[in-house]
Chain A
């Protein structure tokens, strides 16, 4: 059963203050952006900018879910913009290179490097969809709202991205369960 992201007026959580929302959501947003950009430091920088913009719009947020979708949307947009800016690496022939910052002071764990390298086999859009659904636990409709896509398109990207990511991580193929 597809979960829904539509707001139910009876179950709206109180928004609370910004700092509490930040502490509850920043790390996951930063890591999601890190997966999409495949760069741990960049992910945190982009999440920081997204939360800065959120703070500036905090009075317009109606619920934690609203704020969460809003900040993920900004973070993903920033990640996409970041990837566009770095499209130059394709023109320099680095697209076949593992563009993972293995020497980063942020992390050099094998787990991170393996996942970041495997994510390189996914298109940026597939990465966004897989990360939102399989890491942040959004459903397809929620991811579609964040990314400005249709839920059906998100599902297609997720299925293709999962296939590539599982293969890259050496996980046995899995029967897709919509």
Chain B
């Protein structure tokens, strides 16, 4: 099999536009290799580190098997309304599920594709991220049933700079919305958190740092962020901050990539998913304790607390076929993710909505 001459020429031409600073890269390679070599020579430190890691792992493992704290509302079934996105071949829709009956219906059938939907804390309004026609995004706030949408973050016609939105989160008093989007700083693309008034007034507040996800504390005084404050140390971890991004506190400091945090209704815990160590975890809001809730059978993501704190909804491919799971891991495809529920201690896992070939994931839960 020989190279396709047309494609070879196009790839060559495109590649020639990528500026490669070989000398700087080579200097860094030697520096990093030397640093790693020094590290490996320090056997005493390495042994100590391994012993330390083993001790932490053992303690962590112990926590999994320890008696678990009483679950609030343990005798009650789930209730309230869960908003979830259903992604199918070529389409995406927002649905609402009655958690007590298990019945679903479309929530928003509008002029654009919904990328995220979340009810305001009191449940009377619905904020949506819409993809208008494949070239722009906007944030709208509608009535709880999706009617009468009002745009609060306009589509950016310039394309390169704009919302480019991932997800959003309401402040507990319903006055503000935080969303993760993309911006440019000194010509370099960056993702960070924007905070806007829920009525669209005023200019967005842009947090310093690289942040890709956000959730508000129930008292509205803190945000939990995923990302890193310093681009020189691009390690994805959980942080908390004041709503303006100040008073940063690091909750995790590890090799795993934390994702999709959701603050518990009582403010004591944050649930999140992780990629490098697949599963759903909870961490105390002060970062003092981490527990793994799910650790087998699939890829578990996007946990969302119920308003009463008694349940956590999440998406998982644990029920997918081995072929689907393989494709999900390789990135070739993403299918077979269904909605599940579990107790906040990881017990009582149960499927909620499953559809062949679909990608279903929760975005919001209201009373």
Contacts and interface: CB of A to CB of B under 8 A. Distances in A.
Contacts of B187: 103, 105
Nearest to A58: B33
Interface in A14-35: 19, 22-23, 26-28, 30-31, 34-35
A20 to B, nearest CB: 11
A30 B29 contact: no
A21 B65 CA distance: 52
B76 interface: no
A112 B17 contact: yes
A92 B115 contact: yes
The number of chain B residues touching the other chain, given as a range, is 35 or more
A52 B14 contact: no
A125 to B, nearest CB: 6
Interface centre among B85, B159, B166 (most CB of A within 10 A): B166
Interface in A104-140: 104-107, 109, 111-112, 114-116, 123-125, 130-131, 133-135, 137, 139-140
Given A124-B331, A155-B1, A130 B7 contact: yes
A31 B18 contact: yes
A130 B4 CA distance: 9
B25 A26 contact: yes
Nearest to A19: B26
Interface string A67-100: 0000000000000100111011011111111000
Contact of B18 (A106, A125, A155, A158): A106
B19 A107 contact: yes
A8 interface: no
Contacts of A137: 3, 8
A104 B189 CA distance: 6
Name which of B17, B18, B116, B166 has the most chain A CB atoms within 10 A of its CB. Answer: B18
Nearest to A95: B334
B32 A103 contact: no
B194 to A, nearest CB: 15
A85 B257 contact: yes
A166 B7 contact: yes
A171 interface: yes
Contacts of B313: none
Interface in A145-178: 154-155, 158, 162, 165-166, 169, 171, 174, 177-178
Nearest to A26: B22
Interface in B326-367: 328-334, 337, 359, 361
A94 to B, nearest CB: 7
Given A106-B19, A114-B14, A133-B1, A84 B29 contact: no
What's the dominant secondary structure at chain A's contact region?
Answer: helix
B359 to A, nearest CB: 7
A56 interface: yes
Interface string B13-57: 111111110100110111011001100000000000000000000
B6 A171 contact: yes
Interface of B: 1-4, 6-8, 10-20, 22, 25-26, 28-30, 32-33, 36-37, 85, 87, 92, 113, 115-116, 129, 131, 134, 159-161, 164, 166-167, 184, 187-189, 257, 259-260, 275-276, 301-302, 315, 328-334, 337, 359, 361
Given A35-B14, A104-B188, 19 more contacts: A35-B15, A48-B25, A52-B28, A56-B36, A80-B330, A80-B331, A83-B331, A84-B275, A87-B275, A92-B116, A97-B164, A101-B189, A103-B161, A107-B17, A114-B14, A134-B8, A135-B8, A139-B2, A162-B7
Enumerate the 6 nearest inter-chain pairs by beta-carbon distance, A residue then B residue, closest first.
Answer: A109-B17, A115-B14, A31-B15, A93-B115, A135-B11, A140-B1
Interface of A: 2, 19, 22-23, 26-28, 30-31, 34-35, 40, 43-44, 47-48, 51-52, 55-56, 80, 83-85, 87-88, 90-97, 101-107, 109, 111-112, 114-116, 123-125, 130-131, 133-135, 137, 139-140, 154-155, 158, 162, 165-166, 169, 171, 174, 177-178
30 contacts: A23-B22, A26-B25, A28-B15, A30-B18, A30-B25, A31-B18, A34-B15, A35-B11, A47-B25, A51-B25, A52-B32, A56-B36, A84-B329, A84-B331, A87-B331, A90-B334, A91-B301, A91-B302, A95-B334, A96-B131, A96-B134, A107-B18, A111-B10, A123-B331, A133-B3, A134-B11, A135-B3, A155-B1, A162-B7, A165-B7
